[in-house]
Structure 1
Amino acid sequence: MVREFELPDVGEGVAEGEIVDWLVEEGDPVEEDQPVAEVETDKAVVDVPSPVDGSVQEIHAAAGEMVPVGTVIITFAEEGDADSGEATTTEESKETDAATEASAATGDVETTAEETADEETPTASGRVFAAPSARRLARELGVDIGSIDGSGPGGRVSEHDVRAAAEDAKEVDEEGSDSPEPATTRVEGSSGTDAGEGDTTGGGAAQASSTGQPSASGSAAGGATAGESADRERTLAAPATRKLAADSGVDIDAVPTDEERDGEAFVTPAAVESYAEAQQAAQDADRAAVAESRGEERIPYRGVRRTIGQQMAESKYTAPHVTHHDEVDVTALVEARTDLKELADEQGISLSYMPFVMKACVAALREFPMVNSMLDEEAEEIVQKKYYNIGVATATDAGLMVPVVEDADRKNMLQLASEMNELVEKARERTISREEMQGGTFTITNVGAIGGEYATPIINHPEVAILALGAIKEKPRVVDGEIVPRKVMTLSLSIDHRVVDGAIAAQFTNRVEEFLENPQRLLLEA
């Protein structure tokens, strides 16, 4: 039995994913729940498991390809089918060919084989590759699936192709036999005369080949490839097809086609989509060639990186940012951490300065709840949070991620260190879940880890504040009238000035500093 596997919905709001890598090849045996592919969404990289025991029959998407959720990406032959697969296919072919001939003789082009085949439907014109949902839709709409030009890989017929064919047929019926050009629009040159539609060009400027020049071939019967311009003066196409061309920025007169109606070139939706894809590929190749000649590298802006960028832009352009800077003497903190580090190591926990800062921030947030809030713009309310979920900004290969340590106020120093270390490691390995990066009420970022001192961090929207920690450096300070070397750390607190006033920001920062200057005070915090 053949099993089609669609890209699953791996998280709320995720509409597509990029096939990062295939972990199997066609013909490989697989077990149920065995990872077969790595897929990157706009949230994270996830493993896609096999739903069955069996073997890989066909892979439908290439590594690096963006695939919408619900698209078939791989086909499995379930266990028990591998040995008899070839013989079964041969017998099915004979049976379905016979059924096709019988149906063709009675005028019924679509055969009952469509109901038994999992992916391909034999018709009088050969095998049609289509998803079961597309075949079912074709039956419901009364469309001959064998007459549809598939726009998917290998000519695969999609639901979009079926609907477009049904719409074309409906428009032909509505126009009736009295109309000389039912369901299509005749376009006479670029002037649009005799067009019958407001948009005579189908939208967009005339498309050229990858060389920048249109093809000399204007024949409706071929001659131009999908990447070349047919450059006709007259084109027949359904209004829906013209709209598709306009939306794709394609000149419909430039779309090559082998189909004719009434002696004129006829363009289908599949031809428009194929031509648009070819033009895009040519443009991408041109950009890549230019970039290479200039010593540039083009990296796709998508997935996690694009999501990070969108969130940063939303925060920066939504919340008016103000950043408060200060310095704090953390000599006592350095000593306390040194004393406790050995005890933490004995329990297999790496103790950094971050858990101390988290504890200090929670204590200050209790005193200044406005910093631990959010603005509900729709309800026109400021929501003060009575829980303390601290996000820790983490640099990864994919960009900045923010794992969230929940209920930081209820955990001791070693518990905070252990949970934070685990989440940070998962973020860097790209195995962290979306839920583990949600629900934060306040965020801390450590620019000192790379030697930085001051920063103007962007708030992790919809939070209203973020604290950046600078590097701890030895600096001269006056103590009891004498200049002595002390360990000094810088703090940079960015606030959403719609919610948090500058005075509150300064008071909050001062309270954090008091706890860091005297870390023994953190022992009094629950």
Structure 2
Amino acid sequence: MGIYVIRVPDIGEGIAEVELVAWHVQPGEEVREDQPIADVMTDKATVEIPSHVHGKILALGAEVGQLLSVGAELVRIEVEGEGNLKEGADAAAPVAAPAPAAAAPVPAPAAAAPEPQAAPAPAPKASTPAPAPAAARAAAPVPRARKADEPPLASPAVRRQALDMGIDLRLVHGSGPAGRILHEDLQAWAEGGGQPVGAVSSQYVERHGEEVIPVIGLRRRIAQKMQEAKRRIPHFSYVEEMDVTELEALRQQLNQRHGATRGKLTLLPFLARAMVLALRDFPQINARYDDEAGTVTRYEAVHLGIATQTDGGLMVPVLRHAESLDLWQCAAGVARVAEGARSGRAARDELSGSTITLTSLGALGGIVSTPVINHPEVAIVGVNRMVERPMLRGGQVVARQLMNLSSSFDHRVVDGMDAARFIQAVRALLENPALLFVE
């Protein structure tokens, strides 16, 4: 038998360091060739590292969240034959040892139990063996506390009993597998001083739990990028209200006529088109600022960043050459890059290179926001929610569809007057949507 060492590969693009974000194997497990063993994250994407060989995992070389340089030892695998670890070389290299086998559960002392338990039956004489049910209860797992957003796990029968007893399952810790709440847990809760849901004390009990969450992976990248953007860029925001009644009527008509064959349109393709047309007169806004070189690069192409919420956090995939796309092509492109980011299948070139970013929270967009610029860009346009509000038109109060644009700019590159004129140009196009189709 030999030892095969897998090291952090050279991913290219000048990357010298990666972050370990997930293990797919553990010490003692058998792995196959090409089976994924770990995920590492670069500045641009998450990369899956496969096993090169068949064998058994001996040790892991790092913990999740640790930064590793290219060539660092990632994992050791026991293989048939010689392996690639030369005798005497790196033999003493520190790696994570296999986790010890779990010991049999030891009954916890009554005083150390985290939840009040039912009063035990009178102890039998020393010469009499304890009844089996009591022994089973003594060896039961300690109730597991749930996270704040984790729903209680219980069978329908337990839920019905809890309802009859007036017990809020969210306040009960389960001792069953995976924290499942059992009938015994309800009984222990009731006998230990728990009160019905309707009682004031059960809803206003003191809570002292704490949870330390490591900032790793995509969340660490987001934190670093936002901190860098706010540290380097002197932001200023500009908010403007616009009447999108005609635009919304046009969108609905286009969807009724062409939605079945070309796909449904949201407001984003119209806004993207308005930005493309307005940027022709404001090239300083479709730009990237190099802090180190002290230069601004203006782009004729509009590579539109689409701020996208994923399970891991905020990502900004890029819709390239938005200036060359019609409404339906733009809608399809936005959907494609957003879905690629959410599913983790986005190509590397779709996660970098944007020249201006568009962000929207949809129906949750609020009235005003102050979006953070996607460094090294110099502008970001934010869409707030559309609402029907009263408006004066020709001396009459009428109901109109109104929406705000909340945008931020880099004051080193974009003057306030230019930012205002740019947003007003976008507003004029959206309030008169026929202009979107006139060159």
Smaller-chain TM-score range? 0.5 to 0.7
Q: Which residue does 2:252 correspond to in 1?
A: 338
Q: Deviations over 1:176-229 (max 9, x none)?
A: xxxxxxxxxxxxxxxxxxxxxxxxxxxxxxxxxxxxxxxxxxxxxxxxxxxxxx
Partner Cα distance (2:26, 2:266) in 1: 41
Of the three residues 318, 323, 331, the one matched with 1:417 is 331
Q: Which amino acid aligns with 2:47?
A: V
Partner Cα distance (1:31, 1:348) in 2: 44
Relative contact order: is structure 1 or structure 2 higher (C-alpha 8 Å, sep ≥ 6)? 2
Q: Which residue does 2:284 correspond to in 1?
A: 370
Which of 61-70 and 430-439 deviates more? 61-70
| SS at structure 2 position matched to 1:152 | coil
Change (3 A) 1:117 1:425: closer
Partner Cα distance (1:313, 1:475) in 2: 37
Q: Which residue does 2:361 correspond to in 1?
A: 447
Which of 404-413 and 15-24 deviates more? 15-24
Partner Cα distance (1:347, 1:367) in 2: 34
Q: Which residue does 2:304 correspond to in 1?
A: 390
Partner Cα distance (2:361, 2:385) in 1: 7
Q: Deviations over 1:77-122 (max 9, x none)?
A: 7xxx7xxx4xx6xxxxxxxxxxxxxxxxxxxxxxxxxxx663362x
Cα displacement (A) at 1:372: 1.1
Change (3 A) 1:493 1:119: same
Q: Which residue does 1:66 correspond to in 2?
A: 66
Partner Cα distance (2:36, 2:50) in 1: 4
Q: TM-score of the superposition, structure 2-length normalised?
A: 0.67
| Kept after mapping to 1: 8 A contact 2:302/2:321 | yes
Q: Which amino acid aligns with 1:6?
A: R
Cα displacement (A) at 1:492: 1.2
Count of aligned pairs between the two proteins:
328
Q: Which residue does 2:433 correspond to in 1?
A: 519
Change (3 A) 1:446 1:130: same
Q: Which residue does 1:118 correspond to in 2?
A: 84
Cα displacement (A) at 1:56: 4.3
Partner Cα distance (1:18, 1:325) in 2: 40
Show structure 1 runs of 5+ residues with no match: 89-115, 122-127, 132-148, 156-292
Cα displacement (A) at 1:472: 0.2
Of the three residues 456, 473, 476, the one matched with 2:387 is 473
Change (3 A) 1:482 1:344: same
Q: Which residue does 2:95 correspond to in 1?
A: 152
Partner Cα distance (1:25, 1:154) in 2: 8
Partner Cα distance (2:217, 2:21) in 1: 11
Cα displacement (A) at 1:456: 1.1
Change (3 A) 1:368 1:301: same
Change (3 A) 1:27 1:451: closer
| SS at structure 1 position matched to 2:369 | coil
Q: Which residue does 1:16 correspond to in 2?
A: 18
Change (3 A) 1:382 1:117: closer
Partner Cα distance (1:296, 1:57) in 2: 34
Q: Deviations over 1:267-292 (max 9, x none)?
A: xxxxxxxxxxxxxxxxxxxxxxxxxx
Q: Which residue does 2:270 correspond to in 1?
A: 356
Q: Deviations over 1:451-488 (max 9, x none)?
A: 41211111111111111110000011122321110101
| Kept after mapping to 1: 8 A contact 2:305/2:358 | yes
Partner Cα distance (1:341, 1:31) in 2: 49
Q: Which residue does 2:352 correspond to in 1?
A: 438
Cα displacement (A) at 1:7: 2.3
| SS at structure 2 position matched to 1:369 | coil
Change (3 A) 1:308 1:117: closer
Cα displacement (A) at 1:154: 4.9
Change (3 A) 1:341 1:46: farther
Change (3 A) 1:315 1:37: closer
Q: Which residue does 1:30 correspond to in 2?
A: 32
Of the three residues 478, 485, 496, the one matched with 2:399 is 485
| SS at structure 1 position matched to 2:285 | helix
Q: TM-score of the superposition, structure 1-length normalised?
A: 0.57
Q: Which residue does 1:499 correspond to in 2?
A: 413
Change (3 A) 1:377 1:25: closer
User: Which of structures 1 and 2 has the bigger CA Rg?
Assistant: 1
